[in-house]
Each structure stands twice: as structure tokens, then as C-alpha cells.
Structure 1
């Protein structure tokens, strides 16, 4: 587990990059507020749309769908401003959603035991999250590890709606 503790002036949006390399299960992991109250086992969380969009959303937690069953390689960037990346050619899937981080502590959790893989202090508020997924096509579903990789960007925003910017089409 990584724990990053900074002291930020009020209304300061920190910039940081975190490398993630951990094990999860059942093709998913979570990004959430440390005091999240949403129920991830509810069928409205992992709905048909959430599976198709590869992102489940509740007020204070999002579920990120992965191709690999176990080993996850990712990076998470906390940005000072909205992402400017608009060319999605190198990615297989790109999706955005919103997340409320009321406690000011953001966490990455594995599944199903919710082990904390990252804990970082952020300015409390509402955030926009964009997940870029790539190398999704060559996954052997019988193995825990694959070439898939995930880039996650987060910045302050009041836009909480899920939006697919590029849809992955499995063969």
C-alpha cells in the first residue's frame, strides 16, 4: 500500500502521479472516497450499462472494469485542470465519470477484499475521472495476467455523468 500525505493550502488542486501494480479479482477494482457508503454489490451499481461502459458509478465510489482477471498495471494522475487529451487512437476504450471525495482521502481498492492499494490526500470536492484502457484485445481469460494497462486521470469538476469517449468492441 502507498500512502501519500501532503499539506495543501485551501482550494489547491494537487498534481501527482501514482504508479499502480497490484492484484485484484473478477476483472474490477475501485477508486473511492475513504468514507464511501455506496453498495458495490447492488445490481444498480454493476448494471448492464456499467459493464458495457466499463465503469460503474455511485456518488462516492467508481468500479473500473478490466480485461485481466488478476494483475493490474496502471497509473493515476491527479491533474490541476481538465485533461486536454483528445486523440484516443492508441487506446481501446476511454470512459469518464464523476466521483465525490468528501473526506479528502482518495483510495484505490482491489476486489473482492477491498485491500487498499493507494491512499492519497486530495482537496475535498467533486471530481471528474477519465479511464484510458489499452492492450485489451490479447487477453487470455484463463490467465491472471495480461498486457492490458490503464491510465486514470482525475481533476475537479461538477460533471458527474458517465460518458464513453471511445467504445471497446470485443471480437
Structure 2
């Protein structure tokens, strides 16, 4: 085995930096909490070249210090920047670089260099040194360093800013493609926060398990990001569409009275909707980039309501105050959404309210506008289930 002082030792890290552009920040003398193995190598690298890009900016090594281009090492690794959305799955990692799509390169607590997949939170050990990491990258820079795609993207669209990355609308893990219409340019930290909640779901699946919650959207509707088919228990003929961390508590009776009258009411992080029967009912959820175009479904539905919903956790739950771990959560980018609910088949419900073919279609899309609870189309007869 060779050592850095051995003249026969490979100098892959030097070969990598020789083809890089640097620095991204002013000169620093970096000291880390650890100096063993790759930690010492990283401190030395950033003290020589404070941040760099390589492979036509397909690879970015973060700078150190408060000034410069792109993310800085300390802020990027602050839990509140993006790691909190992974709820422990990114703990113990010092992320020092990323590729064009936000794949992280990090040092773990065992002083190993690892590749961290932002979509699944899977860690792949690349070696025990930055030399090993550089060798791995140089073995296939077009793929491992995203050089080929970075080059073709910049040729078509121009260079990204240093604080931007590419993120797929439909994640690669779930069948998303590398076509332009499936890619968006976003702030690098936002890209990580978007994927954190979904990574929690995918990481928890056993090997070989199928993930059915998000099938590929039909080609006829490219703005459909995900489609989910659920059975939800409508206790007291009521369902709550809510952020996973929100709790209704015990609202005033008038809250439920309004809900029964209109089949819509809201509380912080919660939308209450009515259902025709107090049993398991079919609920379809579609997440879109944009509102429904011509909204032909409004003409077909019996009753249509709408409200705004804030989802700080990035996990959507549909139930009636049931938070069992077995209930499916729908992972979304944290933010504010408009939610439209189409209720179908109300005329099929039997007089005793026990049988029927009622179904409920929930459509969400991100919004910056206010969406007060309202009835867009009212069922002409008394609403069942009250």
C-alpha cells in the first residue's frame, strides 16, 4: 500500500483539480473538527483551492467561509438548511461536494468517503480517502461527474448559477427521465428539501418492495406529477386532508356544522371535507404543477370545493384524526397548495347511507395565492351523510 509521501503514489486528486476551475471563495486556512484521513485531505484541499467546479460544472466542491460563490461548507451542513427534511437519514455526514443533480459526496463518522443519493438516502462507500473519491470520479467522469449532461444542458440552456442544481419533476427513482420537460432549475438547498420527505418513504421500503403510490403520469397530461389511489375511512362522514404534523384538536361545534353544510372547512394545516358514507371510501389524489386546465371534471362532479393548505412537513395525510404509522403518507415539496375536491356518485348512495358508488378526487397544485374555503359547485339536493 502506498502513502502520500511515496513517489509511486497515485495523485488522482491532483489530476482532478488540474482540470477544475477555482476558487469559489477567498483564500482560507481551513481547520475541521477532525484531521484524520479524508478530513485532513479536505481541509488541505480547501486551503489550497477554496471551492471548485469540474467536469463542465457537473461537479461542485463547496467553498469554506462566509463569502464566495455557491453554498459554503458550514451552512450547507447545518441541519436546518436541508438535512432536517431527511429526519436522521443524513446525520453524521459532512457533505463537501455535489453533482449536477444534487447527489452528495460526504465524509461519514468512520472517515469514509460516501455517495449520498438525495432521492433514497442510500449511502455508497467510495473509499477511505479523497484520492479514492477522485479515482472513482475520473474512472467515468461523464456519468459519475455528470460531465456529459452538464455539457449538453449548458449548450442548450446556458450555465447554472453556483447555488442552483437540476431536479426532476418526476424523480428518477420513480421512473423520471432526463428529458428537458422533466427537469427544473432550482436553488440547491430547495432541491434537497423537496426530496427529503420522499427519501424517508423510499428508504423505509424493504428490498424488492413495489412503490405503487406514484405511477408514471399519462403522456396526455405532462403536468401531472404524481397519482395516488387510496381507501380512506370517513369517520362520521368526514375526512381530513392535512399536513402530517397538524392536529385538529377539539374545534367548536360550529366548525363541524359548517363542514356538514358545505363539505368544506379549514383549520391550520387541515382541510375538512364531507363524505356520503361513514365507511372506507375511494379517494384519488393527483398532484399537479398547474391548476386543471379547462376543469371539465367540474361539469361532471356532483359537488366541488376548494381551499388552501400549508404543508410544512412535506407529507400529506388523508384520514379522520388517525395517525397510525401504517397509513400512507404522500410526499410533496413543503409549501402552500391549492386543493380542489371533486365529489362524484352522490346520487348512487342508498337511502340508509350504507351503499353507494361515491368517490372523491383531490387535486393539489402549488400556489402563492390565497385560497379561502369555498364551494365551487353545489350539489342541488341535501348533501348525504350529514
Give the alignment's TM-score, normalised by structure 2. 0.39
Rounded Cα–Cα distance in structure 1 between residues aligned with 2:276 and 2:282: 11
Specify which of 271, 274, 282 is matched with residue 73 of structure 1: 282
Partner deviation per Cα, 1:114-136 (whole Å, 9 max, x = no partner): 54643021111111000001110
State whether residues 70 and 145 of structure 1, in contact with CA within 8 Å, keep that contact through their aligned partners in structure 2: no
What SS is found at the alignment partner of 1:89? helix
Specify which of 362, 373, 377 is matched with residue 166 of structure 1: 377
Aligned residue pair count? 164
Task: Compare CA radii of gyration and give the structure with the larger one.
Answer: 2
Unaligned residue ranges in structure 2 (runs of 5+): 1-117, 120-165, 168-189, 195-222
Rounded Cα–Cα distance in structure 1 between residues aligned with 2:330 and 2:238: 20
Unaligned residue ranges in structure 1 (runs of 5+): 1-5
Pick the structure with more strand per residue.
1
> 1:120 and 1:32, CA in 2 relative to 1: closer, same or farther beyond 3 A?
same
State whether residues 224 and 286 of structure 2, in contact with CA within 8 Å, keep that contact through their aligned partners in structure 1: no
Partner deviation per Cα, 1:118-166 (whole Å, 9 max, x = no partner): 3021111111000001110231253544111111100111323112111
Partner of residue 293, structure 2: 84
Rounded Cα–Cα distance in structure 1 between residues aligned with 2:322 and 2:316: 17
After superposition, residues 44-123 of structure 1 pair within 5 angstroms as: 44-48=254-258, 50-87=259-296, 88-109=298-319, 111=320, 113-115=322-324, 117-123=327-333
Q: Say which structure, 1 or 2, has more relative contact order (CA 8 Å, 6+ apart).
A: 1
> 1:66 and 1:102, CA in 2 relative to 1: closer, same or farther beyond 3 A?
same
Give the alignment's TM-score, normalised by structure 1. 0.82
Check if 1:142 corresponds to 2:352.
yes
Structure 1 residue 112, shift from structure 2 partner: 5.7
Partner of residue 361, structure 2: 151
Rounded Cα–Cα distance in structure 2 between residues aligned with 1:15 and 1:124: 15
Partner of residue 17, structure 1: 227
What SS is found at the alignment partner of 1:18? strand
RMSD: 2.6
Pick the structure with more helix per residue.
2
> 1:160 and 1:43, CA in 2 relative to 1: closer, same or farther beyond 3 A?
farther
What SS is found at the alignment partner of 1:75? strand
Rounded Cα–Cα distance in structure 2 between residues aligned with 1:141 and 1:112: 27
